[in-house]
Chains A and B, each alone.
Chain A
Amino acid sequence: MHNWNELARFGLVELAIVAAVLAYWRLGPDRATGKTALLLASLLIGVLLALFSRSYQTGADIWELFAIWAALIAPWVIIGRLAGLWMFWLALANLSIIFYVKTYPWLFGMFLNTEHGLWMLFALNSLALLCWELAARRIAWLAKRWAPRLLAIASATSITLLMLLGLFFQDIDTALIVYPAWLVCACAAYRVASRDLIVLAVGCLSLIVVVTSFLVEQIFVRQRHGGGETIDFLFIALAVFGMAAASGWWLKKLVRESRQ
């Protein structure tokens, strides 16, 4: 630190970034190679920021690294017309929120806890999923199924966790309304309006987890009141087995339908 050796290392990474951006320009913004060059430049910005945070140990929080990274590459994401770049940017946004809530949980003078963090992630990923699906109808380079599927998994994970919190803690009840609404919307969008079996399978898995947790919670309640038998757990095992079989049967039926 404070020497030319260290500054030379910054220079090297910055040169690589400049080279990648010039390559984007020379190779052409609409060619796959040009787009890859822009993705590479976006990754190298992260290398530069990591080098910065290691060279100058000021105690900056890790969420700042991800948030600044996302901010700096935002213009490239917008002009890049590359699905992978958008997904990478959304991943950075997710990481910023996760680490922000974990390490510096204040926003507008309010203390953020895990529940607030999950709502923020749910809002971000669901909104991104909605925009993606609507835009993909007109924009060809967005029509990659893996991206909305990942967003659907992210959205499902956060709302499922919120629903579990709602089941186990009395004072968290918003999810008890939002979760069923989310399931209905997902079913309407991916069973009726369009057909995506992977998203439907994720929905089934989420429902199985929620129902199982609900049953476990009921057993705990009964045990607290002196009742509750070991056989209750056998019942849960059977319920899981039954729900998994039913989901499998339903999804298989949908596959057969879409083949016809």
Chain B
Amino acid sequence: MRSVVAIAACVAALSLVNHSIFGIERKLGSGRVVLIELALVIPRSNLQGDYMDLRFNLAPEVRNALNLAPIMTSKLAPFFSLQSEQPRRDGRIVAGLDANGIATYRRLDDGTPPAGDEVLLQYRVREGQIRFAGNSFFFREGTAERFMQARYAEFRVAPDGDLLLTGLRDRYFTPL
């Protein structure tokens, strides 16, 4: 009996994971390629491995549009916060695309369908920052040098604005 439950749970868990994998492959693998210009890349590492901390040129404009308070400056802020309110909601913006597929800020998503040269992009507000797909690009250990030349982040974007960070590109749009 317990073995049956164990095997059933195994089948269920693997089905769920595989369903998500194929769902993402289908939804975003065929999505539109969008580049977002980077203001800064900072090499970092954590438990999950080495990654680039990405800062987007789009972020300040979204901040302004949302009237977000300045980023918390307290060193304790990441660990400790007794605030009881914070303006924070995830949402979508409408971005215009130029000939190279580079996104520029147009407006917050107000429900009007995007024009042909526009896409919806989902953003998250985390720790006072505007993020697109998490703001971190993971790469194989010891290859940070190569990704330091990054000028653009390459995303696949589904029609509903969901994002998948697929790579970084240098200033000649060459994938790194």
Question: Chain A: residues with CB nearer than 8 A to chain B?
Answer: 1-2, 7, 10, 14, 17-18, 21-22, 24-25, 29, 38, 41, 45, 48-50, 52-54, 56-61, 72-73, 75-76, 79, 102-106, 111, 113-115, 165, 169, 172
Contact = CB atoms under 8 A, between A and B. Distances in A.
A1 B166 contact: yes
Given A25-B6, A53-B48, A59 B138 contact: no
19 contacts: A1-B166, A7-B21, A10-B21, A22-B7, A48-B17, A50-B48, A56-B164, A58-B24, A58-B134, A59-B163, A61-B126, A73-B13, A75-B5, A75-B12, A76-B6, A105-B88, A106-B88, A111-B85, A113-B81
Interface in B34-60: 48-49
A22 B14 CA distance: 14
Given A17-B10, A50-B48, 16 more contacts: A2-B166, A14-B14, A17-B13, A24-B3, A24-B6, A49-B17, A52-B17, A57-B166, A58-B24, A58-B163, A72-B9, A72-B13, A76-B9, A111-B86, A113-B83, A172-B82
Interface in B136-164: 136-138, 162-164
A165 B85 CA distance: 18
Given A57-B133, A57-B165, A58-B164, A79 B6 contact: yes
B92 interface: no
Contacts of A79: 2, 5-6
Interface in B86-113: 86, 88
Contacts of B16: 72
Interface size class of B (residues with CB under 8 A): 35 or more
A186 B132 CA distance: 47
B82 A114 contact: yes
A38 B5 CA distance: 12
Nearest to A77: B9
Contact of A59 (B2, B18, B49, B133): B133
A49 B21 CA distance: 11
Contacts of A1: 166
A59 B6 contact: no
Given A25-B3, A41-B10, A57 B84 contact: no
Contact of B127 (A10, A22, A49, A103): A103
A75 B9 contact: yes
B164 A54 contact: no
B81 A60 contact: no
